Amino acid sequence: MEVVIVPDAKAGGELIAEAIGALLSRKPDALLGVATGSTPLPIYQALAAEVRSGAVDASRARICQLDEYVGLPAGHPESYRSVVLREVVEPLGLSEASFMGPDGSAEDVRAACLAYDSALAEAGGVDLQLLGIGTDGHIGFNEPCSSLASRTRIKTLTEQTRIDNARFFDNDISQVPHHVITQGIGTILESRHPILLATGEGKADAVALTVEGPVASVVPASALQLHPHATVVVDEAAASKLKLADYFRATYAAKPSWQGL
């Protein structure tokens, strides 16, 4: 696992957008897995700016969702399909045809989960998967004690996650669904390059347990330690509980330029 400490969220977004641009130059039709929430917005903003300037050609890129609420209609403004279309697909100048995600409004949710897992495999697998992290260490909606071998499936949200997400629903927790479809940890680990971005002091404990703690289902993000090419990008505040922070800074400063992110 590579840990990169950056000054702030903007710098983290620019660094990851640069890595996505490099991937698209090598593989123009790369499948990019995207996360929602406020943390990845600097990535999408920086990438859209590079596309507008002509520095990055994303015209053949494909986009896939990490997770989706169960029970919200596809057109609901806070369905993750709507969010991804609004924050990623449209700013990059892509069409809806480039986008794939699970059907959270399906009558048979279990079948929808199996179908999405199969669709990702049939698409050739996810080339780069963006991830955020919850204050309890969850990735996607794989809450604490999720199986580290789990596949795309339905999950029940913890009360803390619903409280955290209420800000997107007019701070009314009653509007936040209780269930979601999420890529499982096993599914996420099949992506060729997972990149986790964490910012703010509130994520510091979760980051420290993810990076320096044991691999344990109680901290789902710690499973990234098992991946041969996982990157964790954190700002100074989110890195504040890392015991090896100075080592991480030194190794990144000495990294050969040809290695990329």
Q: Which of 50, 68, 143, 235 is catalytic?
A: 143
Distance CA 44, CA 175 (A): 26
Active-site residue flag, 138: yes
Q: Which of 50, 103, 138, 164 is catalytic?
A: 138
128 close to 33: Cβ distance less than 8 angstroms: yes
Active-site residue flag, 201: no
Active-site residue flag, 2: no
What is the rounded end-to-end Cα distance, in angstroms, of the chain?
11
Backbone torsions φ then ψ of 153, nearest 5 degrees: -160, 175
Distance CA 120, CA 115 (A): 9
Active-site residue flag, 229: no
Question: H helices within the chain, ranges in order?
Answer: 9-26, 41-53, 80-84, 109-122, 159-165, 185-189, 204-212, 245-253
Q: Which of 87, 136, 164, 235 is catalytic?
A: 136
Q: Is 131 exposed, middle or buried (0-12, 13-18, 19+ CB in 10 A)?
A: buried
93 close to 61: Cβ distance less than 8 angstroms: no
Contact partners, residue 91, CB within 8 Å, separation at least 6: 44, 45, 48, 51
> Any idea which residues carry the catalytic annotation?
67, 136, 138, 143
